[in-house]
Structure 1
Amino acid sequence: MPISIQLSQGLLTPQGEREVFPQVADALLAVHGLRGNAFLAPVVIGHVDIYPEGTSYAGGQAQSLAVVEVKIPAMTFPEQSVKAAFVDAVTDIIDRLKAGDHPRARTFVNVTYTVDGTWGIGGKAYTNEALGAAIAAAA
Protein backbone atom coordinates (compact mmCIF):
# COMPACT_ATOMS: atom_id res chain seq x y z
CA MET A 1 0.00 0.00 0.00
CA PRO A 2 1.95 3.00 -1.21
CA ILE A 3 2.18 5.96 1.12
CA SER A 4 3.48 9.29 -0.14
CA ILE A 5 4.42 11.87 2.49
CA GLN A 6 5.17 15.34 1.15
CA LEU A 7 6.57 17.88 3.60
CA SER A 8 7.91 21.40 3.54
CA GLN A 9 11.57 21.59 4.48
CA GLY A 10 11.95 22.27 8.19
CA LEU A 11 8.37 21.24 9.04
CA LEU A 12 9.60 18.18 10.94
CA THR A 13 12.69 17.73 13.05
CA PRO A 14 15.46 15.68 11.38
CA GLN A 15 14.51 12.75 13.62
CA GLY A 16 10.86 13.34 12.75
CA GLU A 17 11.69 13.06 9.04
CA ARG A 18 13.11 9.59 9.75
CA GLU A 19 10.23 8.53 12.01
CA VAL A 20 7.21 9.86 10.10
CA PHE A 21 6.93 7.06 7.54
CA PRO A 22 7.15 4.14 9.99
CA GLN A 23 4.60 5.84 12.24
CA VAL A 24 2.13 6.55 9.42
CA ALA A 25 2.54 2.98 8.12
CA ASP A 26 1.87 1.65 11.61
CA ALA A 27 -1.23 3.85 11.93
CA LEU A 28 -2.57 2.48 8.63
CA LEU A 29 -2.24 -1.09 9.88
CA ALA A 30 -3.38 -0.28 13.42
CA VAL A 31 -6.72 1.29 12.47
CA HIS A 32 -7.52 -1.90 10.58
CA GLY A 33 -6.35 -4.20 13.39
CA LEU A 34 -3.62 -5.60 11.13
CA ARG A 35 -0.37 -4.77 12.94
CA GLY A 36 2.12 -7.56 12.36
CA ASN A 37 0.20 -9.13 9.45
CA ALA A 38 2.84 -11.10 7.53
CA PHE A 39 1.23 -10.38 4.16
CA LEU A 40 0.63 -6.65 4.58
CA ALA A 41 3.65 -5.44 6.55
CA PRO A 42 6.12 -5.86 3.65
CA VAL A 43 3.79 -4.19 1.12
CA VAL A 44 3.22 -0.97 3.05
CA ILE A 45 5.73 1.03 1.03
CA GLY A 46 6.41 4.61 0.08
CA HIS A 47 8.44 7.79 0.18
CA VAL A 48 9.01 10.88 2.24
CA ASP A 49 9.61 13.86 -0.03
CA ILE A 50 10.95 17.11 1.43
CA TYR A 51 10.32 20.24 -0.63
CA PRO A 52 12.62 23.27 -0.39
CA GLU A 53 11.54 26.22 1.73
CA GLY A 54 9.23 28.55 -0.16
CA THR A 55 7.91 25.91 -2.59
CA SER A 56 4.89 24.67 -0.59
CA TYR A 57 1.71 26.68 -0.90
CA ALA A 58 -1.58 26.97 0.98
CA GLY A 59 -4.10 29.65 0.13
CA GLY A 60 -1.80 30.90 -2.63
CA GLN A 61 0.94 31.73 -0.10
CA ALA A 62 4.24 29.96 0.57
CA GLN A 63 3.65 28.19 3.89
CA SER A 64 4.50 24.93 5.64
CA LEU A 65 2.48 22.05 4.28
CA ALA A 66 2.13 18.33 5.08
CA VAL A 67 0.35 16.09 2.57
CA VAL A 68 -0.04 12.38 3.26
CA GLU A 69 -1.50 10.32 0.42
CA VAL A 70 -2.29 6.63 0.57
CA LYS A 71 -3.24 4.41 -2.37
CA ILE A 72 -5.24 1.41 -1.19
CA PRO A 73 -7.55 -1.35 -2.38
CA ALA A 74 -11.23 -0.45 -2.48
CA MET A 75 -11.98 -2.82 0.43
CA THR A 76 -9.87 -0.77 2.84
CA PHE A 77 -11.40 1.71 5.30
CA PRO A 78 -14.79 -0.05 5.33
CA GLU A 79 -16.38 2.34 7.85
CA GLN A 80 -16.26 6.08 8.43
CA SER A 81 -14.96 5.52 11.97
CA VAL A 82 -11.86 3.79 10.57
CA LYS A 83 -11.30 6.60 8.06
CA ALA A 84 -11.64 9.23 10.79
CA ALA A 85 -9.28 7.34 13.11
CA PHE A 86 -6.61 7.20 10.39
CA VAL A 87 -6.89 10.89 9.49
CA ASP A 88 -6.71 11.86 13.16
CA ALA A 89 -3.75 9.54 13.84
CA VAL A 90 -1.74 10.88 10.88
CA THR A 91 -2.44 14.50 11.85
CA ASP A 92 -1.36 13.71 15.43
CA ILE A 93 1.88 12.14 14.11
CA ILE A 94 2.73 15.32 12.18
CA ASP A 95 1.94 17.41 15.29
CA ARG A 96 4.21 15.27 17.50
CA LEU A 97 7.14 15.32 15.07
CA LYS A 98 6.99 18.95 13.92
CA ALA A 99 9.96 21.21 14.43
CA GLY A 100 8.05 24.41 15.13
CA ASP A 101 4.81 26.17 14.43
CA HIS A 102 2.71 24.25 11.90
CA PRO A 103 -1.09 24.36 12.28
CA ARG A 104 -3.18 21.19 11.98
CA ALA A 105 -5.20 22.98 9.30
CA ARG A 106 -2.23 22.63 6.92
CA THR A 107 -1.92 18.85 7.33
CA PHE A 108 -3.86 17.04 4.62
CA VAL A 109 -4.58 13.32 4.41
CA ASN A 110 -5.88 11.91 1.14
CA VAL A 111 -6.88 8.32 0.36
CA THR A 112 -7.17 7.05 -3.21
CA TYR A 113 -8.84 3.72 -3.97
CA THR A 114 -7.69 1.37 -6.71
CA VAL A 115 -10.09 -0.42 -9.04
CA ASP A 116 -10.91 -3.99 -7.95
CA GLY A 117 -8.47 -6.38 -9.59
CA THR A 118 -5.72 -3.82 -10.16
CA TRP A 119 -3.89 -4.15 -6.85
CA GLY A 120 -0.59 -5.60 -8.04
CA ILE A 121 2.07 -7.13 -5.82
CA GLY A 122 5.07 -8.90 -7.30
CA GLY A 123 3.46 -9.24 -10.72
CA LYS A 124 0.15 -10.64 -9.41
CA ALA A 125 -3.06 -8.62 -9.79
CA TYR A 126 -5.28 -9.20 -6.75
CA THR A 127 -9.04 -8.82 -6.65
CA ASN A 128 -10.48 -7.51 -3.39
CA GLU A 129 -11.59 -11.07 -2.57
CA ALA A 130 -8.14 -12.56 -3.24
CA LEU A 131 -6.43 -9.79 -1.32
CA GLY A 132 -8.76 -10.33 1.65
CA ALA A 133 -8.00 -14.06 1.58
CA ALA A 134 -4.23 -13.44 1.51
CA ILE A 135 -4.48 -11.02 4.44
CA ALA A 136 -6.64 -13.44 6.44
CA ALA A 137 -4.27 -16.35 5.72
CA ALA A 138 -1.33 -14.30 7.04
CA ALA A 139 -3.08 -13.27 10.27
Structure 2
Amino acid sequence: MPLTFTYTEGALPETAEKQIVAKLTESMLRWHGLASNTVMTPTVTAQVHVISKGRGFTGGQESSGAWVEWKTPSFAFATREIQIGHIKEATNIVHEASGGNLTKNQIWVNVVHAVDGAWGIGGIAMTNAELAEAISKG
Protein backbone atom coordinates (compact mmCIF):
# COMPACT_ATOMS: atom_id res chain seq x y z
CA MET A 1 0.00 0.00 0.00
CA PRO A 2 2.10 2.89 -1.21
CA LEU A 3 2.22 6.11 0.75
CA THR A 4 3.25 9.27 -1.05
CA PHE A 5 4.19 11.98 1.41
CA THR A 6 4.87 15.37 -0.14
CA TYR A 7 5.71 18.64 1.56
CA THR A 8 6.96 22.09 0.75
CA GLU A 9 10.64 22.74 1.39
CA GLY A 10 11.12 24.37 4.79
CA ALA A 11 7.69 23.35 6.10
CA LEU A 12 9.18 20.45 8.07
CA PRO A 13 12.59 19.68 9.45
CA GLU A 14 14.25 17.25 7.04
CA THR A 15 15.07 15.04 10.01
CA ALA A 16 11.33 14.51 10.60
CA GLU A 17 10.74 12.58 7.35
CA LYS A 18 11.60 9.11 8.68
CA GLN A 19 9.61 9.67 11.86
CA ILE A 20 6.56 10.90 9.92
CA VAL A 21 6.64 7.96 7.49
CA ALA A 22 7.00 5.48 10.37
CA LYS A 23 4.12 7.03 12.31
CA LEU A 24 1.84 7.29 9.26
CA THR A 25 2.55 3.64 8.41
CA GLU A 26 1.88 2.53 11.98
CA SER A 27 -1.35 4.51 12.08
CA MET A 28 -2.68 3.08 8.83
CA LEU A 29 -1.90 -0.49 9.86
CA ARG A 30 -3.34 -0.04 13.36
CA TRP A 31 -6.58 1.52 12.12
CA HIS A 32 -7.03 -1.53 9.88
CA GLY A 33 -6.23 -4.03 12.66
CA LEU A 34 -3.04 -5.10 10.87
CA ALA A 35 -0.34 -3.71 13.15
CA SER A 36 1.72 -6.91 13.28
CA ASN A 37 0.57 -8.57 10.07
CA THR A 38 3.60 -10.20 8.45
CA VAL A 39 2.10 -10.05 4.95
CA MET A 40 0.72 -6.53 5.05
CA THR A 41 3.50 -4.66 6.88
CA PRO A 42 6.17 -5.15 4.18
CA THR A 43 3.73 -4.07 1.46
CA VAL A 44 3.36 -0.63 3.03
CA THR A 45 5.93 1.37 1.09
CA ALA A 46 6.57 5.10 1.03
CA GLN A 47 8.02 7.85 -1.11
CA VAL A 48 8.85 11.29 0.22
CA HIS A 49 8.76 14.24 -2.16
CA VAL A 50 10.01 17.67 -1.16
CA ILE A 51 8.82 20.40 -3.49
CA SER A 52 10.58 23.73 -3.79
CA LYS A 53 9.05 26.82 -2.23
CA GLY A 54 6.73 28.39 -4.74
CA ARG A 55 5.73 24.99 -6.18
CA GLY A 56 2.81 24.29 -3.79
CA PHE A 57 -0.59 25.90 -4.21
CA THR A 58 -3.87 26.27 -2.33
CA GLY A 59 -6.85 27.71 -4.17
CA GLY A 60 -4.54 28.61 -7.04
CA GLN A 61 -2.27 30.70 -4.79
CA GLU A 62 1.26 29.86 -3.72
CA SER A 63 1.26 28.13 -0.35
CA SER A 64 3.30 25.81 1.83
CA GLY A 65 1.73 22.52 2.76
CA ALA A 66 1.95 18.77 3.22
CA TRP A 67 0.08 16.03 1.38
CA VAL A 68 -0.46 12.46 2.58
CA GLU A 69 -1.76 10.12 -0.13
CA TRP A 70 -2.41 6.41 0.23
CA LYS A 71 -2.95 4.05 -2.69
CA THR A 72 -4.89 1.03 -1.45
CA PRO A 73 -7.27 -1.71 -2.52
CA SER A 74 -10.93 -0.75 -2.31
CA PHE A 75 -11.46 -2.72 0.90
CA ALA A 76 -9.06 -0.41 2.77
CA PHE A 77 -10.38 2.71 4.49
CA ALA A 78 -13.85 1.20 3.98
CA THR A 79 -15.47 2.35 7.22
CA ARG A 80 -16.19 5.90 8.28
CA GLU A 81 -14.51 5.22 11.64
CA ILE A 82 -11.22 4.30 9.94
CA GLN A 83 -11.43 7.26 7.55
CA ILE A 84 -12.11 9.80 10.31
CA GLY A 85 -9.66 8.27 12.78
CA HIS A 86 -6.69 7.88 10.47
CA ILE A 87 -7.11 11.23 8.73
CA LYS A 88 -7.27 13.04 12.06
CA GLU A 89 -4.25 11.13 13.35
CA ALA A 90 -2.24 11.61 10.13
CA THR A 91 -2.94 15.34 10.19
CA ASN A 92 -1.81 15.54 13.82
CA ILE A 93 1.37 13.58 13.08
CA VAL A 94 2.42 16.02 10.36
CA HIS A 95 1.27 19.10 12.29
CA GLU A 96 3.25 18.11 15.39
CA ALA A 97 6.34 17.23 13.33
CA SER A 98 6.20 20.68 11.73
CA GLY A 99 6.54 22.27 15.17
CA GLY A 100 3.43 24.28 14.37
CA ASN A 101 4.97 25.60 11.15
CA LEU A 102 2.07 24.06 9.24
CA THR A 103 -1.49 24.60 10.40
CA LYS A 104 -3.88 21.68 10.11
CA ASN A 105 -5.50 23.57 7.23
CA GLN A 106 -2.21 23.23 5.32
CA ILE A 107 -2.19 19.43 5.59
CA TRP A 108 -4.25 17.28 3.20
CA VAL A 109 -4.86 13.53 3.40
CA ASN A 110 -6.50 11.42 0.72
CA VAL A 111 -6.88 7.80 -0.36
CA VAL A 112 -6.86 6.51 -3.92
CA HIS A 113 -8.26 3.04 -4.55
CA ALA A 114 -6.58 0.82 -7.14
CA VAL A 115 -8.36 -1.18 -9.80
CA ASP A 116 -9.16 -4.69 -8.58
CA GLY A 117 -6.49 -7.07 -9.84
CA ALA A 118 -3.85 -4.37 -10.24
CA TRP A 119 -1.86 -5.03 -7.07
CA GLY A 120 1.59 -6.15 -8.18
CA ILE A 121 3.40 -7.70 -5.23
CA GLY A 122 6.51 -9.74 -5.87
CA GLY A 123 5.72 -9.73 -9.59
CA ILE A 124 2.25 -11.22 -9.08
CA ALA A 125 -0.89 -9.30 -10.06
CA MET A 126 -3.30 -9.89 -7.20
CA THR A 127 -7.05 -9.30 -7.01
CA ASN A 128 -8.63 -7.85 -3.88
CA ALA A 129 -9.74 -11.36 -2.91
CA GLU A 130 -6.24 -12.78 -3.41
CA LEU A 131 -4.71 -9.94 -1.45
CA ALA A 132 -7.23 -10.33 1.39
CA GLU A 133 -6.52 -14.07 1.50
CA ALA A 134 -2.75 -13.45 1.72
CA ILE A 135 -3.25 -10.84 4.45
CA SER A 136 -5.44 -13.24 6.46
CA LYS A 137 -2.48 -15.64 6.64
CA GLY A 138 -0.15 -13.01 8.09
TM-score range, shorter chain: over 0.9
Q: Distance in 1 between matches of 2:112 and 2:44?
A: 15
Report the secondary structure of 1:88's partner residue.
Answer: helix
Corresponding residue number in structure 1 for 2:48: 48
- 1:3 counterpart letter in structure 2: L
Corresponding residue number in structure 1 for 2:35: 35
Q: CA RMSD in A?
A: 1.2
- Within a 5 Å distance, the mapping from 1:15-26 to structure 2 comes to 15-26=15-26
Gaps of 5+ in 2: none
1:96-121 Cα offsets, whole Å, 9 max, x none, are: 10044311112111101011111110
Q: Distance in 2 between matches of 1:5 and 1:136?
A: 27
Gaps of 5+ in 1: none
- 1:114 counterpart letter in structure 2: A
Larger CA deviation: 94-103 vs 119-128: 94-103
TM-score w.r.t. length of structure 2: 0.93
Tell me how far 1:60 sits from its aligned partner.
2.3
TM-score w.r.t. length of structure 1: 0.93
1:115 matched to 2:104: no
Tell me how far 1:22 sits from its aligned partner.
1.1
1:80-101 Cα offsets, whole Å, 9 max, x none, are: 1111111111101011100443
- Contact conserved, 1:11 with 1:99, CA < 8 A, in 2? no
Tell me how far 1:36 sits from its aligned partner.
1.5
Q: Distance in 1 between matches of 2:100 and 2:9?
A: 12
- 1:110 counterpart letter in structure 2: N
Using the aligned pairs only, state the percent identity: 32
Work out the number of aligned pairs and report it.
Answer: 138
